Amino acid sequence: MKKSLIISILCLLLGLVIGAGGYLIYDLATEPPPTPTVEPIPAEQAYAGTACRLVESAYQVLSDLRAGDYASLAQRVHPVYGVYFSPYSTIDLNANQWFAPSTLARLGRDKNSLIWGTLPGSGEPIDMTAEEYFARYVYDRDYLYAPVISVDRAACPDSGRANTAEAFPDGRFVDLYIPADSEDGGWTLLRLVFVDYEGSPMLAAVVHSESSV
């Protein structure tokens, strides 16, 4: 199924689910539901519209991550907050790496190692180049085709010590979740956190989580 069609279906579901006071958790591995015969959602319910923009923004970010296009990704980063990268579900604004858009745009050419956080249990530093970190803790699976996505609600009940709301009180997020299977091992999740800037959702954090954590 083409991603443009998927996004259109998700936007329809967002209007229905959020209009009813709920959240969206949708399994893309299933067939899309038939077109519902309901009255249109009132225009004043703008929340659903912003959620649709979040989904669109998330897929744009994923496309950049998949292509390793740091310059394009930088254009989607919040110009004031910049973007944090957390290897695990608990965001540490003091320990996680942070980049302004201009710095992120050049990151692909940087071969220096950085400390991105610490390993759970041992407390050893995660000392990697940007290329190594992105391969291990950002685009470690093909999240552009993740079978389950969620808006503003954890896609995986076992995602652990997530503190997104505390770290970004004004933020909203999209979860891309790949369940465990016999071929690839345990589940993994990539959370993209967005904060509004002049009416547009801009990337503020990229948070990774996995079943071994």
Could you tell me which of 181, 178, 183 has the C-alpha nearest to residue 210? 178
Single-letter amino acid code for the residue at 176:
L
Domain count, the chain: 1
Q: Write down the pLDDT at residue 60.
A: 96
Cα dihedral 70/190/32/151 (nearest 10):
-100
Model confidence pLDDT, tens digit, residues 9-56: 556 555 444 444 444 554 544 444 333 333 333 433 445 567 788 999
The rounded distance, in Å, linking the Cα atoms of 79 and 172 is 16
Q: Write down the pLDDT at residue 44.
A: 38
Regions of the chain where pLDDT drops below 70: 1-49, 157-160, 182-184, 212-213
Q: Write down the pLDDT at residue 48.
A: 58
Residue for token pair 């991105």: 116
Residue for token pair 């609600």: 153
Range of the domain at 168: 3-210
